[in-house]
Amino acid sequence: MPRHVKVAAAQLGPNNEGTPREEIVERMLALLEHAIRDGIELIAYPEMALTTYFPKRVRPDFDQFFETEVPPKALEPLLRRAAQARVALHVGFCEKAQGRYFNTALLTDRDGRLCGTFRKIHLPGTKAPDGFAQVYEPYYFAHGDTGYRVFDAAGARVGIAICQDRRYPESYRCLALQGAEIILIGYNTPISALALDLNELCLRSGAYANLCFVVGVAKAGVEDGVELIGGSCIIDPLGQVLARAATTGDELVQARVDLDQMRPVRKRWNFLGRRQPQHYGLVQQPVTEKETNR
């Protein structure tokens, strides 16, 4: 029996500081209603969907951006409507748990059941300005402790990574080895030279090297004076872009993905089955270029 899933990247425009969460969720609901009309079965929202991207500078008053409940209370209307319409849902938010701070994403299935959460593993930037860093996530967040996880949702095996994780081939490979068919990646990325090109390069290469679908979903536009790239897109197992955002505002990017498409390409290329892990020991060696403590 054919296995098709209609997926959407729900790109968000800027969330400027001071915008109430309720107002942001109303915009998210508008995108969800659009998705429902179009028959979407799995919708993904960006990293830190409920707040501004505050790690663009160092500041002490960051507790206001974190949620202490999972799922966050602010998301109740969105989660309820998604469950009513039988749409699986992914959304990123900032989580405070037992005194620790994480950059987190959750996934629910079409019946509203919480499949689980993933906490961002790779943190960009430094704890203090060093002349190079654009962002300061290590000042705010602990490295994620969930490990890479794959969930059953919308009739597919769905993996999650967040933003900087997309730049590490290990992220895609760890998820693919657990059977991921679709990988969802939310991000907030300040603009810089080649930023859009490098973003798509990471997503496309991850899809091809692991022969799976990848959905990249951005928060975009000029947010509190800092321009964030858009470029939300849906990519097939051969690294081809099926759909791409045309704006840097609220936009639904969608595609009907054929999960059976992976069978012939995985049989032909068999990147996972032809691995030679006995030669990969260096990958597991301790880090030699230590992360700066600045």
- Nearest-CA neighbor of 9 among 290, 208, 168, 245? 245
Q: Taking the CA of residue 80 as centre, how many other CA atoms within 13 Å lie in the half-sphere pointing to its CB?
A: 7
> CB–CB of 89/115 below 8 Å?
no
Q: 100 CB contacts (<8 Å, ≥6 apart)?
A: 142
Which residue out of 41, 47, 95, 137 is catalytically annotated?
A: 47
Beta-bridged to residue 226, according to DSSP, are: 223
Annotation marks residue 290 as catalytic: no
Annotation marks residue 115 as catalytic: no
Which residue out of 41, 67, 115, 120 is catalytically annotated?
A: 120
Which residue out of 41, 56, 95, 163 is catalytically annotated?
A: 163
Backbone dihedral region of 132: left (phi > 0), alpha (psi from -120 to 50 degrees) or beta? Answer: alpha
Both structure tokens of 286:
């301790």
Q: Which amino acid is at 17?
A: E
What would the DSSP string read from start to end of 174-239? HHHTTT-SEEEEEEE-B--TTHHHHHHHHHHHHHHHHTSEEEEEEE-EEETTEEE----EEE-TTS
> CB–CB of 122/80 below 8 Å?
no
Task: Report the C-alpha gap between 278 and 156 in whole angstroms.
Answer: 31
> CB–CB of 35/254 below 8 Å?
yes
**Neighbour tally for 41: CB within 10 Å:** 21
Annotation marks residue 47 as catalytic: yes
Task: Report the C-alpha gap between 90 and 106 in whole angstroms.
Answer: 6
Give me the phi and psi of 237, to 5 degrees please. Answer: -65, -10
Helix axes 76-84, 21-37, angle to 10 degrees: 10
Both structure tokens of 27:
């915009």
Active site amino acids: 47, 120, 163
